[in-house]
Amino acid sequence: MKWNAELYDQKHAFVYQFGENVLEVLDVKAGEHVLDIGCGTGYLTQQIQNAGAIVKGTDYSPDMIAQAKENYPAVEFAVADAGNFDEAGQYDAVFSNAALHWVKNQDGMMDSVYKSLKPGGRFVAEMGGKDNVGKLIAATKQVLTQHGYLEQTKIQVWYFPSLGEYTSRLEAHGFRVTFAIHFDRKTPLQDGDQGVTKWIKMFGSQFFEGIPQPEVEQMLTEITALLEPHYNEDGQWYADYKRLRFIAVKE
Ligand code: BEZ
């Protein structure tokens, strides 16, 4: 997946603005070593540094990391795969916001995070949880089906686990889960009735790979129409986000 880092900063700032209160859960102390995985364009990484931590932000996308370095030259950033990295035993905390649902190798990610933490270190994250953007996914699959693209409906772009599934998985990797919550967060979309189209073009383009662009545009219009009764509240459109937030400790 290729990211448009500039567009992400301009139009999808809610991804990290809503992430700010997960920083309260991280509760960073001055001098702590923190790794921020899936840091995107670096806003929260910089917030962690401002709170007094020694932080490194990593992302799979070189474009995101280039933008992060431009945005915050005083913060350390590097390209790395969250599903498989080697930073053995250094960190007081590993943090992640709105990124883990993109990681294909969840077991590799959990092992890598575990190894990178000091004993007593914590893994604090927020990600999409079960049924996140469920209405949007259902509408997208309905329209793909109506246009005869059945194979495309089987693509699993994201991983949105339930609380039980994910906390069990963390436990199987040696963590003690000390806090976990699965909650609704109605999330505003920008640009009114263009918001769904822009969101899908930014984050869900994999559903439409190989489909001629004029037909994609038509399908996006149809998806928007299906979502309107659920997403449009007096002209402000909201997506049906559901978050999974947790603290998991390496004992
Ligand atoms: C999310 O933060 O929940 C999300 C963002 C982009 C694509 C899918 C989910």
Q: Where are the domains of the chain?
A: 5-249
Residue 234: predicted pLDDT? 96
Residue nearest to atom 6 of ligand 1 (CA): 203
pLDDT < 50: residue spans in the chain: none
- CA torsion sign for 125, 132, 21, 3 is positive
136 lines ligand 1 (CB under 6 A): no
Query: Buried b vs exposed e over 113-130: b needs ≥16 C-beta within 10 Å?
Result: bbbbbeeebbbbbbbbbe
| DSSP-assigned letter for residue 211 | S
At which residue do the structure tokens 């003690």 appear?
176
Residue 249: predicted pLDDT? 98
Closest CA to 173 of 92, 125, 246, 115: 115
Per-residue pLDDT reduced to its tens digit, 161-191: 999 999 999 999 999 999 999 999 999 999 9
CA distances (Å), 12 to each of 143, 174, 175, in order?
24, 34, 32
The distance between the two most distant Cα atoms of the chain, rounded to a whole number of Å, is 56
Task: Please give the CATH number for the structural domain made up of 5-249.
Answer: 3.40.50.150
> Phi first, then psi: what are they for 194, rounded to 5°?
-95, -5
203 lines ligand 1 (CB under 6 A): yes
Residue nearest to atom 5 of ligand 1 (CA): 98
Residue 3: predicted pLDDT? 64
Structure tokens at 231: 């997403």
241 lines ligand 1 (CB under 6 A): yes
Query: How far is ligand 1, taken at its centre, from the CA of residue 230, in Å?
Result: 18
Residue 21: predicted pLDDT? 87
Question: pTM for this one?
Answer: 0.92
> Phi first, then psi: what are they for 128, rounded to 5°?
-70, 130
101 lines ligand 1 (CB under 6 A): yes
Structure tokens at 114: 């575990």
Closest CA to 136 of 186, 61, 191: 186
**Torsion angle in degrees (nearest 10) through CA of 180, 243, 85, 4:** -170
Rounded CA separation 2/6 (Å): 12
CA distances (Å), 98 to each of 56, 129, 136, 165, in order?
17, 10, 17, 18
Residue 13: predicted pLDDT? 64
Residue 163: predicted pLDDT? 98
Residue 80: predicted pLDDT? 98
Rounded CA separation 44/49 (Å): 9
